[in-house]
Amino acid sequence: MSKGIHLYKNFNSLSTNTTAEYIASLQSFEVRDSDVFLVSYPKSGTIWAQQIITSIYELDGHVTEYFTNSQKMPWLEWVWGCAGGAYTRRPSPRLFTSHLSQVLMPPGLMDKKGKIVYLMRNPKDNMTSYYHFSKTLAGLETPQSFAQFFEWYLTGNGTCLHLHYLPNDDDQEESSDKTLKFEHQTLNVQM
């Protein structure tokens, strides 16, 4: 495990972005009915989807007081974004981005509160993109080869997160009315 990675309940994160205590505190995070969560595995087109979602909300007159994607649609798991209760004070609708697995997300999301936009990407394309991206992360262990990265990717070691994707099939029916699923390649073709 790389020195710059923080592990909490099988979730790897940059240690500069979060703490175990903060991730645990999300279990008491109050989800509003108007909240929107963009959830994806890293390198799935998250920033692109963030831009699309924030553009839609800007057309409706929301999030215009913020300047960057990370301000308009902050990362739920990054501790610096919630400093001093900033998330709680945000006006509705609040927009969030996350790479967290379902078990680490605020329980209110599974209680029919909020909306989820789930972005997926072909695993081969995702892994290739993530491999090249991981070589640019300063201070983190760089894979020596694609074969090593492939092993990390499948096991959740190194700079990789454990694969987390959607809840199991039994949970899908319950969440289907508030979960919108997009595939990266489908969006490319439709745009």
Tell me the C-alpha distance between 21 and 80, whole Å. 13
**Cβ pair 150, 2 in contact under 8 A:** no
What b/e string do you get for 164-189 counting C-beta neighbours within 10 Å, with b at 16 or more? beebeeeeeeebeebbeebebeeeee
Q: Among 47-61, 135-149, 156-170, name the most confident range.
A: 47-61
Active site residue 62: no
pLDDT tens, residue by residue, 33-55: 999 999 998 888 999 999 899 98
Model pTM score: 0.80
Q: Classify strands 179-183 and 115-120 as parallel, antiparallel or unpaired.
A: parallel
pLDDT band at 58 (very low <50, low <70, confident <90, very high): confident
Give the length of the chain: 191
Q: Classify strands 11-14 and 95-98 as parallel, antiparallel or unpaired.
A: unpaired
The residue among 115 and 180 whose pLDDT is bigger is: 115
pLDDT tens, residue by residue, 164-183: 544 544 444 455 566 777 66
Q: One-letter amino acid identity for 47?
A: I
Number of helices (H), then strands (E), belonging to the chain: the values are: 8, 6
pLDDT tens, residue by residue, 71-100: 889 989 887 666 667 888 888 999 999 988
Domains, in order of start, for the chain: 5-190 (3.40.50.300)
Query: Which residue in 6, 62, 99, 184 is the catalytic one?
Result: 99
